[in-house]
Structure 1
Amino acid sequence: MNNASLASAKSVFGAGLLAAVAASLCCITPLLAVIGGLSGAAGAFAWVEPYRPYLVGLTVAAFVVAWYQQLRPKPAADCCAAPQKLTFLQSRGFLGLVTVLAAALLTFPYYAAILYPRPQARAALSATSGALPTWQTRTYRIGGMTCAACAQHVEQAVQQVPGVQAVSVSYDQATAQVRFDAAQAQPAQVESAINSTGYHILNPTSH
């Protein structure tokens, strides 16, 4: 493989890797937001989601071309030319590693939820004033979620609101169901927690 071919191959799988990263940004960002505490940044790349099928296709095409260039029969070498020694970056092993990384990025939405920190068990609510809890359950429609990781991020945020007993967020239905003690938490606090993630409530409560 000559230098021009090597440069072409590296450019192709480099483009494929970049496409894989772009395709997974909408789901990687919520996890990074939870870990890094940058909650509002979670929905920053939600706009990428409609283009994800095209980015996935571009990634697959790029790696098919890269592997074809790597595996195709080499032209007969000049008997007088010194054999060219390939570096690791030019080897099949490196291309294999990059291919595995791209595959992990493309499939990230399917396993992202298991990477989220487990929520801490909430202690039983105590009625210090002697009054019984006033339970309310509200369902919110949420816009901007692009995968199950986004739903997990919303759950993490709402669980931090004092007085919230349970929260269930569905990416498929684009809803969040929240049960909370109205004596400790107000609907505005729940809505603020949801909106702080970078996604937005489509049916906010009137105040």
Structure 2
Amino acid sequence: MNNKKTLMGSSIILAMATSLCCIGPLLAIVAGTSGLASNFKFLEPFRPYLIGITGLVLVVAWYQQLRTVAKKEIDCACDTDEKPAFWKGKIWLMTITVFALAMLAFPYYAQSLYPKQEAKGQTNFFASQDVKEINIPVVGMTCSGCEAHIEHEVNGLDGIIMVKADYQKANAQIMYDPAKTTRDAIVNAILKTGYTIKDQ
């Protein structure tokens, strides 16, 4: 039974580690320390291996769970009122499995969890005649959660009209009012998230 607990605990830890590079930025924004988010991006190259190990651990845990139940039924055909502990049962293992799958899929729905934030300059967009558009190459984004992290940070600046980060293209496209903010301020906001900017 101790081995089963170890497998269940391992699957939770592995599943969380698999998506920690995406969970970290969201937790950092909630905590108000967005610069800490980059501390977890080192895990991204290991994600495929962590997914595989998580799946293997869950398969072994389910195999042991189902084998233990079958063995008890064979060993004892007598009726017993003794219920197994909740932590050792199928319901708990099912809960862990669902949680692990939710963590593995986190990068695909992370952006929907970020607080909705409109760019501060959108309301005065047509008032300014001098609007600049820049394209900044950003290194380190790995999922839509990373995009949302950068967009959230840049949208916090005055004079931002539009920001669209794209992890596949490794860039952030930004429209802003140069009377209210500067390219340097935008670059600093991106750097504050922990991602780096190419050729800087």
TM-score by length of 2: 0.90
Secondary structure (helix, strand or coil) at the match of 2:19 reads: helix
Secondary structure (helix, strand or coil) at the match of 1:165 reads: strand
Secondary structure (helix, strand or coil) at the match of 2:71 reads: coil
> 1:136 deviation in Å?
1.1
Distance 1:85 1:193, change over 3 A: same
Distance 1:19 1:132, change over 3 A: closer
Secondary structure (helix, strand or coil) at the match of 1:153 reads: helix
1:98 maps onto 2:115 in alignment: no
What's the % identity of the aligned pairs? 39
Task: Flag structure 2 segments of 5+ consecutive residues without an equivalent.
Answer: none
Number of residue pairs aligned between Structure 1 and Structure 2: 195
State whether residues 11 and 57 of structure 2, in contact with CA within 8 Å, keep that contact through their aligned partners in structure 1.
yes
Name which of structure 1's ranges 182-191 and 69-78 shifts more when overlaid on structure 2.
Answer: 69-78
> 1:126 deviation in Å?
8.3
1:87 maps onto 2:115 in alignment: no
Q: How does 1:59-98 map to 2 (within 5 A)?
A: 59-72=54-67, 73-74=70-71, 76-77=74-75, 85-98=83-96
State whether residues 140 and 203 of structure 1, in contact with CA within 8 Å, keep that contact through their aligned partners in structure 2.
no
State whether residues 111 and 145 of structure 2, in contact with CA within 8 Å, keep that contact through their aligned partners in structure 1.
yes
Give the whole-Å Cα distance in 2 for the aligned partners of 1:112 and 1:103. 14
**What letter is aligned with 1:97?**
T
Structure 1 or 2, whichever has the larger Rg, is 1
Task: Flag structure 1 segments of 5+ consecutive residues without an equivalent.
Answer: 1-5
Residue 193 of structure 1 is aligned with which of 177, 189, 193?
189
Deviations 1:84-133 (A, max 9, x none): 64210011111110111111000001111111111136452389xxx954
1:138 maps onto 2:138 in alignment: no
Q: What is aligned with 1:43?
A: 38
Q: Which has the higher helix share?
A: 2
State whether residues 146 and 171 of structure 1, in contact with CA within 8 Å, keep that contact through their aligned partners in structure 2.
yes
1:52 maps onto 2:68 in alignment: no
Deviations 1:45-67 (A, max 9, x none): 00100000000000000010000
Give the whole-Å Cα distance in 1 for the aligned partners of 2:81 and 2:141. 54
Q: Cα RMSD between the aligned structures?
A: 2.2
